[in-house]
Amino acid sequence: LGVNSCAALSQASHEPLAGTAPHVAVWICIEQEGAWGAHPLTGLGSGAGDALAALTDNDFVMALAIRRVGRHPRATGTRTVMIARSDLTDAWLCTRDVDSDDQLATVLGDVDLDAGMHGRAPSGWERATESVTLICTNGKRDVCCAIEGRRIIDELSDLAEHHYWECSHLGGHRYAPSVLLLPAGLVLGQISATELMQTHTGNPPLARVRGRSCLPAAAQAAEIAADPQVPFGTATAVTVETIDEHRATVQVHGLSGSTSISLVHQAHSVPSPISCEAVSQSRSHWLSL
C-alpha cells in the first residue's frame, strides 16, 4: 500500500480498532461471481432485489455479496445463499442453494426476519456445522480492500481446511484487510494471515479485534477490555448499564464471573481519512479507563 492510503494512514496513526465493528444481528450473504462494482448486489433481478431490500430495511441486518476465493468467472448455474444470526450464546449459520434470481426472490421472500432476530433459524435451510470466514476484497469501494484482502488470501496456507469466501464491503476501508467470521459475527481488521490462522484455533489476537457485531460499539469495546477477567469469546452477556455522549459503564458476564468496564468516548489524537477518497478527520472511540 502507498503511504497515503487510508489503511496505511490508519495504521500509522495507531487508530484504535476496538468498538468499530458494524452493529449487525443478522447477516445475509448471496453468492455473486464475476467482477463486482461498488455495490454488487444492486444487479439482482427486480424480484430478488425487492425481497432483499425488504429484509435489509432494518438497522441490524446487513447483506453482503460473496464469491469463492480465486478466479471469478461470470456466474452460471447454482449460487449459495447464507443467513447467519450473530449472538453471544445462540449464533447459527444456515445455507441453501438457488438456481435463478426468481428462486432467490422466493427464498428471500420466505425468510421470517423477526424469527431470525429472535433466534429461530429459517425452515428449509441447511444448518451449517462449521464457521465461514469472509474477507473483503471489494476494490471498487476502496482500493485498500482489494490490495490488502487479496494479499492475505494469497498468504493463507489453510485455505483447504477452512471455509473462506471473498465478500463485499464490511465497513471500515481503513482497517483493511477486514475479515468477518460467521456465525460468531467476529469482525477483525489489519490482520495478518498468521494471525487469522491463529484465530481459527480459538485465540484471536485482541489487537486485531474490532468487535462482535451483535453488540453496540461501547459493548464491543468493553468485551475486549474485559479480557482476561472474562476471557474474550466466553462472555454470556454484555450489558451497557450507563451511557452518555462521553462515558459508559458496561458489565461483562462470563461463565465464571463478571466484571465492570468503565469507558470514555475520546477523540483520537491523529486525524486520518475514513477512505482513500476522503479527507483526514478526527474520530472518537470507546476506550477503557
Asked whether residue 35 is domain-assigned, the answer is: yes
pLDDT grade for 39, boundaries at 50, 70 and 90: confident
Say if strands 132-136 and 179-182 run parallel, antiparallel, or are unpaired.
antiparallel
Q: What is the pLDDT of residue 64?
A: 97
Asked whether residue 263 is domain-assigned, the answer is: no
Average pLDDT for 9-37: 93
Asked whether residue 247 is domain-assigned, the answer is: no
C-alpha to C-alpha distance for 271 and 238, rounded to whole angstroms: 30
Q: Which of 1-5, 106-110, 225-229 has the lowest mean pLDDT?
A: 1-5
Residues 6+ apart with CB under 8 A from 154: none
Pick from 203, 211, 207: which is nearest to 252 by CA? 211
pLDDT grade for 1, boundaries at 50, 70 and 90: low
Q: Rounded to whole angstroms, what are the CA distances from 56 to 16, 38, 41, 99?
A: 29, 18, 12, 22
Structural domain range at position 157? 1-214
Q: Rounded to whole angstroms, what are the CA distances from 283 to 136, 161, 189, 280?
A: 23, 38, 17, 10
C-alpha to C-alpha distance for 181 and 199, rounded to whole angstroms: 10
Asked whether residue 138 is domain-assigned, the answer is: yes
- Whether the CB-CB separation of 117 and 60 falls below 8 Å is answered with yes
Look at the block and give the residue holding cell 467482477: 35
Cα-only R_g, the chain: 19
Q: Give per-residue pLDDT as tens, 128-178.
A: 999 999 999 987 767 888 899 999 999 998 777 789 999 999 988 899 999
Q: Is the pLDDT confidence value at 3 over 70? A: yes
Asked whether residue 275 is domain-assigned, the answer is: no
DSSP string, 245-274: SSEEEEEEEETTEEEEEEEEEEE-SS-EES
Asked whether residue 167 is domain-assigned, the answer is: yes
Please tell me the number of Cα atoms within 13 Å of 235 on its side-chain side: 31
As for how many domains the chain has, the answer is: 1
Asked whether residue 171 is domain-assigned, the answer is: yes
Look at the block and give the residue holding cell 474474550: 232
C-alpha to C-alpha distance for 258 and 254, rounded to whole angstroms: 6
- Cα end-to-end distance, the chain, whole Å: 33
Asked whether residue 266 is domain-assigned, the answer is: no
Average pLDDT for 244-260: 96
Q: What pTM, to 2 d.p., does this model score?
A: 0.94
241-247, Cβ contacts within 8 angstroms, sequence gap of 24 or more: 243/218
